[in-house]
Amino acid sequence: MNLIAAAIAVGLAALGAGIGNGLIVGRTVEGIARQPELRPVLQTTMFIGVALVEALPIIGVVISFIVMNR
């Protein structure tokens, strides 16, 4: 059961991060297309958002390792 719980945790974390990254990058591309002069600001904000979203799967993997060791 621990292995199944760990696999579900990692899978859902990766799925959520993929959806989140897609939304962030898509909206950034839309913003750049509308106002190209704001590209540096939008890209900086996008990279910060992507980094925060990518923390989710890392936390999921850590939690799955904790669950597997019990």
* Amino acid identity for residue 46 in this structure: M
Segment holding 29, helix H or strand E: helix 2-34
User: How does pLDDT run across 3-54, given as a tens digit for each residue?
Assistant: 888 888 899 999 999 999 999 999 999 999 999 999 999 999 999 999 999 9
Asked if pLDDT for residue 67 goes beyond 90, the answer is no
Mean per-residue pLDDT, 42-67: 92
**What is the reported pLDDT for 32?**
97
Neighbours of 35 (CB within 10 A): 11
d(CA 43, CA 1): 42
The answer to whether residues 60 and 6 touch, using CB atoms and an 8 Å cutoff, is no
**What is the reported pLDDT for 68?**
86
**What is the reported pLDDT for 54?**
93
Q: CATH code for 1-69?
A: 1.20.20.10
* Amino acid identity for residue 65 in this structure: F
